Amino acid sequence: MEYKNKDLIRGFVWSGLDKLGVVFLQLALELILARLLLPKDYGVIGVVLVFISLAITFSEGGFSNALVHKLNRTETDFSTVFYFNMITSFLIVIIIFLIAPTVEKFFNISGLTLVLRVISISIILNSVVLIHKVKLSIAMDFKSQAKYSLAAVFLSGIIGVYLAYHQYGVWALVFQNVAMAFFNAVFLWIGFRWFPKLEFSVESLKSLFSFGSKILASSLLQAAYFNSYPFLIGRVLSTRDLGLYAKSNQFTLMPSSVLTTVLQRVLFPYFSSHQSDDERIFGLNQLYTKLSCLIFFPLFFVMAMVAQPLIIILFSEKWQDMTGIFVIFCVAYTFYPLIVNNMMMFQVKNKTSLFLKIEILTKIIGSVFLLATINRGLIAIAYGILAQQIIQFIITSFFVQSVLNKNWLEQIKIILPFFFFSIGLLFLIRIGLDAIPLSLIWKLVLGLFFAVVGYMVFYFIFYRKDIMLIPKMIRGN
């Protein structure tokens, strides 16, 4: 399938409305829920989601990316993946039902068995619409996905807030998660009328698995790595610490990963259609690296600059202990979109073996940091995550430029000015706000004002031409 420039731009617009709309709606709902629930409630759901996220990753099996990457895909391919995914999901849910009591005993959290069993229903609900999402992504029909996602989040959010208000505690979060998966599945089946054929091809499965297996292994590794943090924090530290970690992670990694998904959903099929043109891919990768820096660095560093008043005003004083790790996470996850974009390049160039090797290497490094910091508290753990993100960016940047036969410093040279300026501005504003005795509201207002002015001056002096050229460069590609 050949994509035109208008398809790419339309894809960005609707993918952005889909994911960003969902994020802002979820954040608004979370502000309400955080005031109604306790950190320990988020700690319990954090333990449960460790298993659910791993299960969903495993059930998808890397077939989504394999179908998008394959240029001569057929309806037999789609039907085969659909049936395989359904069977896998049911088996996983059965396993979760069996191990749930053991998980409750391990974490010593009363009632965890029932919570885990109920929320595992979302695994099946996600599996029944895997192909619907893939086909819509291939067609770059993100408009439909935006409508369905927003409706599902809104309806499930109402359920969650209602239950939280009536003091259902962690069950408000459980039913919110299940309801969101349910509504999304219903809307996709009704709105996008695709039905699998009564066909199953072992050859098709093998062909797709040869590409998808490396992606699956990498996705499982990544999921296991990220979920090892709540797993160990909940086990070694406390449920309250896990709640603080989960909320900090949610409000930093979630926006970063969602905005990254906006880019990746559109760029992966587009880049894959040009997978043999290294110069074109390199130029686009450099462009979107700079675009990511222009967007993500101010977004996350500004949040870090006003972290303390922002957290207390939005969530209440019971969450103020998350300020330290929130600031470190804001700095760490500015690199996440760049890492994901680099890793996508390996898939585009069909270097899935290299993709997997890099994932293994970087996750081993991260695991060493985690084991070294787990007994030293949340701040030490957060610094370990920051170090791992920086190292992973450097490694992925080096190998991407090697695959594209470019100098390994090309991408890093784009990042450094943004990073050093942002770090300097962060320290200046935080020191200034701490030194002046002001109310929380005034600290928030002044912090935002000086942060925004600082970035505006920086961009005006050094990146004015780049900002003016970005729309033209996108249309020209």
The pairs formed by 36-39 with CB atoms below 8 angstroms and a separation of 24 or more are 36/161, 36/164, 36/165, 36/172, 37/164, 37/169, 37/170, 37/172, 37/173, 38/169, 38/243, 38/318, 39/239, 39/240, 39/243, 39/244, 39/247, 39/318, 39/319
Q: Output 126 or 278, whichever has higher pLDDT.
A: 126
**Does residue 332 surpass a pLDDT of 70?**
yes
- Whether 325 shows a pLDDT value over 60: the answer reads yes
Token code pair at residue 227: 């979920």
User: 108: helix, coil or strand?
Assistant: coil
Residue-wise pLDDT tens digits, 69-104 = 666 778 888 888 888 888 888 998 999 999 999 988
pLDDT at 13: 55
Highest mean pLDDT, choosing among 16-20, 247-251, 443-447: 443-447
Measured distance CA(116)–CA(104) in Å, rounded: 9
Residue 212 scores a pLDDT above 70? no
pLDDT in tens, 280-303: 777 777 777 887 788 888 888 888
